[in-house]
Structure 1
């Protein structure tokens, strides 16, 4: 039996491990926050994209204007934008050919150069100051989903990656959306039970295989999921494989419905409806 299987078979050991992890993570973050705060006082905030000084939000007006915000008309199922308005209820070819396990998906912006820079800065460069702006844009883009939801669940990191990255960017976005909507964030309701490869560079089929069986709802959390309408929160929707795997795990735990809300989604071309 592997070390991971042994941990999974001993809930008490898993809880102790998680508790120790949280304490150590909190100590480390507190120590690192001191020099970061001093640096913030000494240096002005720069636009994350063009590096010009900016007040507060982290994106200057010029770069903000370059963002491609997604608005109707779009596929009512997947949120993929259309080139013209076909009227209500139309679906994209992707939604008809291979509908995902989640019911609906919405995104704030198209995943272009500026959006990519924002996501990478939040994800890899400790730019947590970007989360409030990104989260508010997401709350506006997902208003329809959020008005019907019971709770938010961020896509989880494996605990090893969470340790190295120090925070979950999806959790940071979910917390902002929670403040905007007063929807609760159900912590640890969804777990990544095995480490997965980075999805970058994998084909669509490889992405699906990479996350197969990677997520589960722990037994003690099933009651917080059962019968509830859940909105999954993540930073980017690319192939949808990760979000689909998460949705399947939540539906197996008897969630009533799972929708998806992301900051940015990949759109190869603006799609025409069929």
Structure 2
């Protein structure tokens, strides 16, 4: 059977030469970054909290925690356990990841879904048992204005790659919410109060389900927390979060310190 996409690839490359979406450097093929831009992405490091991915301090004796110590939990999660059952972020929210997100989310460069989802898949652990994949929803007004739900595009790619059922409309945003940028934690929670619920027609699928909740960026966690609350209220047994970029300043500082240490060594 002819693979038309592969057959047309040389023609597409001729008409639209592959370029790095960050710097415009020529590439061998579409769907990636140049070597220089790859090196600017900051990945979540280890050791980290098993529940929230927050970086944990090294032992200070030269001993690096191994995989057997991956169940360590940070103090904030011990003091106030999160509603979710883990976070998998592909990158930390720095200037390069921000540019990719803005181009994807507001620049209508939907083809970036392939690159972003591949990076997310690389950081996503094996999901044991039966799972459902659910995207963070947009309110219908914002969906009409933008034309697509960026989280749904990522969720679709991840579901196909993992062979996991996608329930794109499991959640619905029943009231519009203002931009959360610049709002404090309490104000964000108030803005999202009652805004997101599980769709009643999907109640049977969500009851007892393990859900992978997909979003593009995790900032304060207010939106995903509202989604997790709605999913568990509907009876979901577990909800894990997968995102492309995560705002976590202490993790960025830790990653930079490790890079400096590696260069010095």
| TM-score above 0.5, yes or no | yes
Q: Which residue of 2 aligns with 1:64?
A: 38
Query: Aligned-pair distance for 1:168?
Result: 0.7
Query: Aligned-pair distance for 1:140?
Result: 2.1
Query: CA offsets per residue over residues 34-82 of structure 1, 9 Å max, x none?
Result: xxxx998644343222222333124211101111122432110001233
Distance in 1 (alpha carbons) for counterparts of 2:199 and 2:223: 18
SS at match of 2:111: helix
Partners of 1:170 and 1:233 within 8 A in 2: yes
2:56 to 82, 86, 92: 82
2:113 to 125, 131, 139: 131
Q: Which residue of 2 aligns with 1:216?
A: 197
| Match runs of 1:120-199 below 5 Å | 120-144=102-126, 146-199=127-180
- For structure 1, which runs of at least 5 residues remain unmatched after alignment? 1-37
More helix as a share of residues: 1
What is the root-mean-square deviation in Å for CA atoms of aligned residues?
2.1
Distance in 2 (alpha carbons) for counterparts of 1:83 and 1:180: 34
2:20 to 47, 51, 75: 47
Q: Structure 1 residues 139, 58: CA separation in 2 closer, same or farther (over 3 Å shift)?
A: closer
1:242 to 215, 223, 226: 223
TM-score (norm 1): 0.79
SS at match of 2:39: helix
1:256 to 224, 228, 237: 237
SS at match of 1:66: coil
- For structure 2, which runs of at least 5 residues remain unmatched after alignment? 1-10, 59-63, 255-265
Partners of 1:45 and 1:56 within 8 A in 2: yes
Q: Structure 1 residues 217, 117: CA separation in 2 closer, same or farther (over 3 Å shift)?
A: same
Distance in 1 (alpha carbons) for counterparts of 2:189 and 2:14: 44
Distance in 1 (alpha carbons) for counterparts of 2:132 and 2:249: 31
The answer to whether 1:94 aligns with 2:76 is yes
Partners of 2:49 and 2:70 within 8 A in 1: no
Partners of 1:77 and 1:105 within 8 A in 2: yes
TM-score (norm 2): 0.82
Distance in 2 (alpha carbons) for counterparts of 1:210 and 1:226: 27
Distance in 1 (alpha carbons) for counterparts of 2:150 and 2:249: 24
Query: Aligned-pair distance for 1:213?
Result: 1.1
Partners of 1:149 and 1:231 within 8 A in 2: no
Distance in 2 (alpha carbons) for counterparts of 1:151 and 1:143: 15
Partners of 1:108 and 1:137 within 8 A in 2: yes
Partners of 1:229 and 1:257 within 8 A in 2: yes
Q: Which residue of 2 aligns with 1:16?
A: none
Distance in 1 (alpha carbons) for counterparts of 2:104 and 2:158: 16
Partners of 1:67 and 1:115 within 8 A in 2: yes
